[in-house]
Amino acid sequence: MAVWQDLHHLPAYGLLQQLALRPYDLTAPGAISEARLATYTCRQAGFELLYAMQRVDEAVIAALQQLADQSGAVERFLEMKKGAVANRLDGYESENRQVLHTACRDIFSDQPLCPAATVQAREQLAKLQEFLAELDSAQLTNEQGELFTDLLHIGIGGSDLGPRALYLALAAYRLPGRRVHFISNVDPDDAAAVLEGLDLSRTLVNVVSKSGITLETLTNEELVRAAFQRAGLDPARHFVAVTGQGSPMDNPARYLRSFYMFDYIGGRYSVTSMVGAVMLSFALGYDAFRQVLQGAQAFDVAAEERDIRRNIPLLLALLGIWNRNFLGCDSLAILPYSQALVRFTAHLQQCDMESNGKSITRQGATVSYPTGPIVWGEPGTNGQHAFYQLIHQGTTVVPVEFIGFRRSQFGEDMLIQGTTSHEKLLANLLAQSLALAVGRPHDNPNRFFAGNRPSSVLLADCLTPYTMGGLLALYEAKIVFQGFIWNINSFDQEGVQLGKLLATRLLQHFGGLRLGDANSGLQDSLGWSLLKAAGLIDIKIANKAEQE
């Protein structure tokens, strides 16, 4: 394995800087031709990436290939899959862990790249399959002998965003009589709204926390347990846990089952582990979840291709680096033209920004170039009537990744004014990409579109469990590739820890005042003053405490 190098030390960096001085002009006459559209299309694992609307030409693509080769991105991806300790910083305290979310999907291989992790994944899937069989056969029922119809999934961050995104994306494939609900926010109104009207007697609760001590998750769990107890139900007969082996939640006295998640799978990469498996298998059935895993594995393997023209995740990663580091674009909009993907961009926002929102290299030095972009978006066509104005005519150039499907999930459609609804959806998707690229000259400045705003279009036939797994793994690989090329650690998340620490100190003040111990907190701290300024503690009590 080559020595890690910063992006600007790679030989291709200077070449790309020179090419970025005169990027391809999408607005020039004939710039978007049939030949260009055919040439700048990458097909892989059931997807097509149309990238003719990016500001690249043959020279740029060749230089991006050099960048991929010189950074060793694919080699590092393979080493990661084989069990290399990829979550680390050289010379500094860090998590120092393997990164093996791909092992969850390698269960179909006769020769898995990291056999020990794949064995663990298979063991957990076998436990899950047995649990589901007991539910389906009515061996496991509620106190009245009735089948469970609902599952309440409690988690936060990676234990919520990805699983929720996939459940919503695949709702069309839900088993009859099965529903899933989610509680993530520690805001008690979230739990209250979800619990309202829910038949708890026929509800399972899936609590997800690797450490078993996640504050928001445990708080919400206790709120839900209290609701079961008020209803005269024994929580131990309704609750299951997804947690680390040996954690406080690995407790058969409190949970029907405990399914294990492992340190080598980060939260935002954990959808295909037990974090998502329990909920998705309950909702869709075990076979459908296996299809998700198969689709993901297809892209885990496809991402090993070294030719960027034949590797969609690597190509997307490099186009993103071209826009971010050489064309100066700070933001990325991911816009799925599928209502089923209503929360998928939110998942990618976490996966990308928590992974690559880093300002130090793997050697602990401050980076001298931009890293992860701001990721955001909403489904089309709704977004067209909201924020597309800025994308087309605003002062900030926002590259776009469109996602679309040739067929709808339900197949329920009709001709209205000569075309179907799904045809209207796809026409809008392609029109937006074209409009961003070519723009429109106009004597009226209000109706002038500058164009040269880059976009890609990612297409598949239909959003199925298999396709969803592929889409998930595609973006995971893209994010990992970018982190490797930027020479940053995409697998830790120290950025959330300071806020947690300060919140704990503020909670000490709340708890101390409630117990009548005015001195239990740190009254001379900034937190004490902040609570007073926000009107969250009684000023008289606070002043008395300070005097004492």
Contact yes or no for 185/359 (Cβ under 8 A): no
The residues that bridge with 67 in the sheet, in sequence order, are: none
d(CA 104, CA 106): 6
Distances (CA, A) of 103 to 296, 312, 317: 11, 21, 22
Catalytic sites, residue numbers:
354, 385, 500
d(CA 334, CA 523): 45
Q: Which residue reads 């500058």 in tokens?
A: 450
Q: What DSSP designation does 91 have?
A: T
Q: What DSSP designation does 245 have?
A: T
Task: Give start and end residues of each alpha helix (H) in 303-460.
Answer: 312-321, 344-356, 388-393, 421-438
SS3 state at 387: coil
Tokens read off for 129: 């399959």
Rounded to 10 deg, the angle between the 11-20 and 58-71 helix axes is: 160
Distances (CA, A) of 228 to 33, 198, 275, 493: 63, 11, 23, 34
> Which amino acid, one-letter code, is at 303?
A
Q: What DSSP designation does 366 have?
A: B
d(CA 278, CA 271): 10
d(CA 422, CA 380): 12
d(CA 31, CA 92): 49
User: Interior CA angle at 210 toward 207 and 215, to 5°?
Assistant: 70
Contact yes or no for 143/201 (Cβ under 8 A): yes
Query: What's the burial of 251, exposed, middle or buried (CB within 10 Å: 0-12/13-18/19+)?
Result: middle
Beta-sheet pairing, 41-44 with 179-183: unpaired
